[in-house]
């Protein structure tokens, strides 16, 4: 069979961006066909874009077409200039807070833990450079923005919610690495809960997903964090946990992505109450 052209996803584009440290990122964008909503498109910013942007784009493309099409949503994948799904070294820098070797478990892979601790700089990059670049070309609803991350990206998603809750309204943390730095994310959660006021005019929603076949500490950690966040009735914070039977750390991505998209679309639908627990 002779190759005629490379496969592409209609409506998807990509470009390279550089942060202030000179690191290169591949920014992938999928935009629905047709006229934008009056208030702009809802948008999902997706970490590990090299691995999951295509899944998001094709899922949204299918759901946004046909007689039963659903509300159009833009997806923005934030990835790296690589040809494989994950950049391990870069993920440890971008998705974590600083941690010393004594604050981390023994690594299962050969060699020392990679350089880490750039979460705040990465959050700055998203807010100050990526978002404005997207909004220059696509009308975005500023009140319907989501952040999706998995594993270390799940830790980063939680960190973004707990330390800068104004950047997004919906947070999807898959298999979050709550173990990072002696479970420091629980401290950030406590600080967030102490400072979060119900008079804040904007709702925040968090969806945590984990597979039943992941390491037991991952499942326990996700459950413990969900329990902490739900220990009090907080009118402006809704938290949901899903454990997917039979799924492992990687296979859980597909059902979690599908449900996260549905929940994000329905989060502001007054007719849908199943999300709020």
Residues catalogued as catalytic: 151, 213, 249
Q: Cα separation of 92 and 152, whole Å? A: 7
pLDDT tens-digit profile of 13-42? 999 999 988 899 999 999 998 889 999 999
216 compared with 71, residue with greater pLDDT: 216
Average pLDDT over residues 129-140: 97
pLDDT tens-digit profile of 220-247? 999 999 999 988 655 568 899 999 999 9
Region class of 175: left (phi > 0), else alpha (psi between -120 and 50), else beta: left
Question: What is the pTM for the complete model shown?
Answer: 0.93
Q: Residue 40 corresponds to which tokens in the numbers above?
A: 């702009």
**pLDDT for position 277:** 28
**pLDDT for position 276:** 31
Domain boundaries in the chain?
Answer: 12-266
The domain 12-266 belongs to what CATH superfamily?
Answer: Alpha/Beta hydrolase fold, catalytic domain (3.40.50.1820)
Q: Cα separation of 13 and 28, whole Å? A: 6
**pLDDT for position 232:** 62
**pLDDT for position 233:** 53
Helix locations, the chain, DSSP H = 49-63, 88-94, 119-125, 131-137, 152-163, 180-183, 185-195, 216-229, 253-266
Cα four-point dihedral sign 58, 61, 63, 68: negative
pLDDT at 270 over 60: no
Tally Cβ neighbours within 10 Å of residue 183: 16
DSSP string, 83-133: SSS--HHHHHHHS-----GGGSPPPSSSSPPPP---HHHHHHHIIIIIHHH
**pLDDT for position 205:** 94
Q: Cα separation of 120 and 97, whole Å? A: 8
Strands 74-80 and 24-30: antiparallel
Closest alpha carbon to 95 in 17, 27, 158 = 158
């Amino acid at each position: 069979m002779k190759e005629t052209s490379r496969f592409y996803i209609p409506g998807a584009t990509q470009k390279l961006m550089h942060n202030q440290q000179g690191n290169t990122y591949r920014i992938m964008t999928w935009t629905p066909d047709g006229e934008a909503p009056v208030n702009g498109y809802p948008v999902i910013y997706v970490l590990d874009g090299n691995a999951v942007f295509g899944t998001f784009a094709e899922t949204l493309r299918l759901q946004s077409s046909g007689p039963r099409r659903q509300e159009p949503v833009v997806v923005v994948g934030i990835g790296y200039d690589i040809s494989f799904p994950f950049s391990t070294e870069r993920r440890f820098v971008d998705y974590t807070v600083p941690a010393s070797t004594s604050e981390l478990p023994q690594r299962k892979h050969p060699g020392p833990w990679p350089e880490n601790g750039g979460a705040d700089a990465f959050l700055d990059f998203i807010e100050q450079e990526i978002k404005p670049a997207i909004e220059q070309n696509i009308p975005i609803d500023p009140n319907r923005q989501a952040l999706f991350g998995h594993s270390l990206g799940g830790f980063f998603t939680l960190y973004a919610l707990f330390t800068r809750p104004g950047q997004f309204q919906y947070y999807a943390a898959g298999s979050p690495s709550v173990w990072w730095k002696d479970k420091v994310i629980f401290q950030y959660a406590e600080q967030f809960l102490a400072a979060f006021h119900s008079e804040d005019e904007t709702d925040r929603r968090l969806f945590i997903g984990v597979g039943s076949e992941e390491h037991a500490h991952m499942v326990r950690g996700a459950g413990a964090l969900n329990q902490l966040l739900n220990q009090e009735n907080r009118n402006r914070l809704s938290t949901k946990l899903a454990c997917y039977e039979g799924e492992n750390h990687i296979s859980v991505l597909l059902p979690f992505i599908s449900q996260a998209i549905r929940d994000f679309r329905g989060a502001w639908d007054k007719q849908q109450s199943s999300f709020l627990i």
